[in-house]
Structure 1
Amino acid sequence: MATGVLRSFGAGASVARGALAWIRRDPKSAVLERTNFHGRTVTLAGGPALALGATAGAALGAPNARTAAAAVTAGLVSGAVGFYDDVVGNRPEQKAAKGFAGHLGALREGRVTSGLIKIAGVGAAGLVASSLIGGKKVDVLLGAGVIAGMANFVNLLDLRPGRAIKAGLVIGTPLGAAGVVGAGAALLPDDLGEEIMLGDAGANAMGALLGVALTARTGTAGRLVALAALAALTAASEKVSYTKVIQDTPWLRRLDELGRRPA
């Protein structure tokens, strides 16, 4: 068991670091540069690097072939549609649509936004992944909600350096998601140092894979509780700022700022 965990952790870490180096060497990687909230130039290369590393580690550490296939589906599809939104969503005509309501409004006007493609892609990946894990129809539907909901939740946290990865490590460790934890740990210093950012590609992939790990370890009751919690957290994000809550809570603020590059 310990050897398998270490192998999964190591695969996640090594693939993530290798993918990051490979992407950053590409002459076209300049299109991934963005300006963060401090006005510093960072690269979105961390997103696909984390998606590839976490998916490889999760698949290697899966208990069976169906769960491995679920991890590959959730991680790669969520990462791919997230990356598409990271790149295409930066265009002026795409930025106008904000939130789920904004994307639906654009659809009614005959425009398919990159954000809507991401939402549909993550939802479809969650449903397929949950089906691969198996169970009764209600369990599959609940699992799909957990996977998509976790992808969205981690993405909501990706507003400050290192925040989403730290959350992924806290959630992933008790779930035994060694591949996800390995990939996150390998990229955390670069994220905290404001050299990279996860974007939707990394945050969605990490969240979806955590959702797969949770779904694979729970039955109807566990998935129902998890989905209810995720729904409540998502609804709360529409009313309150997670960043403000963290700033106003001393122990959360200290954890959030731990290791971060000074402003």
Structure 2
Amino acid sequence: MIADRTSRSFLLSAALTRAGQAVLRKAAPGGRESWERKNHAGRTVGLYAGPASALGTAVAAARVHPGAGLAVLAAGACGAYDDVAGDHRRGFRAHLGALRDGEVTSGAVKLFGISAAGLVAGAVMKERVPDKVLAGVVIAGAAHLVNLLDVRPGRAAGAVLALGAPGLSRKGPAAELSAVAMGGAAAVLPDDLGERVMIGDTGAHALGAALGAAVVAGNRRAGLLVHAAAVVAAAVYGDRVSAWARAL
């Protein structure tokens, strides 16, 4: 029965994501041109995969736990804002530096928005205050981590599949949410690798938040502390993490 629920979560997330891509590709709001960008190699790619994976995984995650669905949707929305209004700055230090100078960048909005969403989700998913805070850090940090890995086609989605796989061995919501994250990633990976689409900040943050929610669902305080320390370290050494992802 548990395996059946996990499989259904994977299939639902994947199916919703694929359906979302198909709908957006057929009837892109604002016209097809507004949904096209040049990737790192100068190829024209579609942005359909980002919103599709964010919405697909959010709906599938909400079926498992409303707090997880909220975190995924909010992370995707903040990522979408950065995709649309983002500037040249990279890394939290640059955005926080700009904030100190009185400039509110898209990265700062994303940082505080996803952090707030993570804390709200953590508050819903855990009972004790320390666990709520750690859960919020894990969800927001996981969203940021996956975005750091999104430096080449397939890197972020592939990382979600690899990082989510161990969670399938757990029971209950942890396994189901791992399957949700993996389903969304699996749905976009072929087109992402083929450089037909890019998931952008929208998809990377949403998939990362789903992965973080799975970690939260499957761990108590000690495990949350370890994972929180890991994602904070990744944020601090973000440039090195991105460089490592490029080298893979």
Both structures adopt the same fold (TM-score exceeding 0.5): yes
Alignment of 1:102 with 2:79, yes or no, is no
Check conservation: 1:32, 1:87, Cα contact below 8 A.
no
Q: 1:12-51 CA deviation, whole Å, 9 max, x = no partner?
A: 0111011111112215242232111111111222111111
Shift of 1:132: 0.5
Alignment of 1:39 with 2:36, yes or no, is no
Q: 1:200-241 CA deviation, whole Å, 9 max, x = no partner?
A: 110001111111110111111000111112222333333x36
Gaps of 5+ in 1: 63-67, 248-252, 254-263
Is the partner of 2:45 in helix, strand or coil? strand
Q: Map of 1:1-263 to 2, 5 A cutoff?
A: 1-25=2-26, 26-28=28-30, 29-60=32-63, 62=64, 68-89=65-86, 94-95=87-88, 97-175=89-167, 176=175, 177-238=178-239, 240=240, 242-244=242-244, 247=247, 253=248
Q: Which amino acid aligns with 1:156?
A: L
Find the aligned partners of 2:121 and 2:230 in 1 and give their Cα distance.
20
Q: 1:173-198 CA deviation, whole Å, 9 max, x = no partner?
A: 22221122112111110000001111
Find the aligned partners of 2:246 and 2:183 in 1 and give their Cα distance.
25
Is the partner of 2:96 in helix, strand or coil? helix
Check conservation: 2:149, 2:245, Cα contact below 8 A.
no
Find the aligned partners of 1:241 and 1:232 in 2 and give their Cα distance.
10
Find the aligned partners of 1:187 and 1:122 in 2 and give their Cα distance.
22
Shift of 1:104: 2.5
Check conservation: 1:16, 1:183, Cα contact below 8 A.
yes
Find the aligned partners of 1:152 and 1:245 in 2 and give their Cα distance.
14
Find the aligned partners of 2:62 and 2:181 in 1 and give their Cα distance.
10
Q: TM-score, length-normalised on structure 1?
A: 0.84
Q: Which amino acid aligns with 2:232?
A: A
Q: 1:63-101 CA deviation, whole Å, 9 max, x = no partner?
A: xxxxx1111111100001100110111xxxx33x43223
Q: Which amino acid aligns with 2:110?
A: K
Is the partner of 1:56 in helix, strand or coil? helix
Check conservation: 1:148, 1:211, Cα contact below 8 A.
yes
Find the aligned partners of 1:245 and 1:69 in 2 and give their Cα distance.
32
Shift of 1:111: 2.6
Shift of 1:244: 4.7
The verdict on how the C-alpha distance between 1:141 and 1:49 changes in structure 2, with shifts beyond 3 A counting, is same
Is the partner of 2:237 in helix, strand or coil? helix
Find the aligned partners of 1:104 and 1:246 in 2 and give their Cα distance.
25
Check conservation: 1:122, 1:148, Cα contact below 8 A.
yes
Q: 1:92-120 CA deviation, whole Å, 9 max, x = no partner?
A: xx33x432232223333433211111111
Question: How high is the sequence identity, in percent, across the aligned residues?
Answer: 46
Q: What does residue 260 of structure 1 align with?
A: none
Count matched residues.
236
Is the partner of 1:34 in helix, strand or coil? strand
Larger radius of gyration: 1
Gaps of 5+ in 2: 168-174
Q: TM-score, length-normalised on structure 2?
A: 0.89
Find the aligned partners of 1:233 and 1:134 in 2 and give their Cα distance.
24
